[in-house]
Amino acid sequence: MLRAIWLAAYACAVLLANVYLDSFIELPWFGLFSIGSIFFAAVFTLRDRLHQYGLPTVYLAIASAVLITTLYGQFIAQISPRFLFASFVAILISELADTAMFQRLRHYRWHKRVLASHAVSVPLDSLAFTLLAFAGVMSSYDMMQIVYADVLGKYIIAAAVAYLPFISVRERRTVSP
């Protein structure tokens, strides 16, 4: 039952990230920040939670999220095919890199694995998506602002998700810096 909830939360976060991927807010210290990135920041940590059920579940989650997002984007929301392609490629690259890194670090505590794997996947995701979705449409300066803001924002949000809502107080006190 809990596995199904984590799978659904992951797929919903990917879907919401794609629904809001072309909506931006300008933050003075960040630059252009995609509202979709708020949801996507949680995606990596939610997928990390699925590792407790094994790699087949992780791969099922990634495939399900890509399929659901593609179908929703193509037939219901009519998201631009360019955005869908950019999202598909970015998810595959970043999620598979994150999964490989997370698995490689499995002998470390969960929080350290999450933050280390995110250090690889978050920049990959932001760079791949932004370049594929906006190259030729936005200036290089705007795209680099988006990448910078997304990496910083996603990492801060993902770290908060990793540390706050899913761990006990006892674990929080014993986490080493």
Enter the DSSP assignment of 33: E
Tokens 């924002």 -> residue? 153
- Amino acid letter, residue 76: I
- Amino acid letter, residue 147: V
Comparing C-alpha atoms, which of 110, 79, 101 is closest to residue 14? 79
Query: Along the 177 residues of the chain, how does pLDDT read in single tens digits?
Result: 788 998 899 889 888 888 887 777 777 766 777 788 788 777 877 888 888 888 899 889 988 988 888 888 888 888 888 888 898 898 889 888 988 998 899 888 878 888 898 899 899 999 999 999 999 999 999 899 888 888 888 888 877 877 765 443 333 333 444
Is residue 139 classed exposed, middle or buried when 0-12, 13-18 and 19+ CB atoms within 10 A define those classes?
Answer: exposed
Exposed e or buried b per residue across 45-56, where buried means at least 16 C-beta atoms within 10 angstroms of its C-beta = bbbbbbbeeeee
168 phi, psi to nearest 5 deg = -80, 165
- Quick one: pLDDT at residue 30? 66
Alpha-carbon distance of 76 to 30, in angstroms, equals 32
Comparing C-alpha atoms, which of 38, 50, 58 is closest to residue 155? 38
What's the whole-model pTM score?
0.78
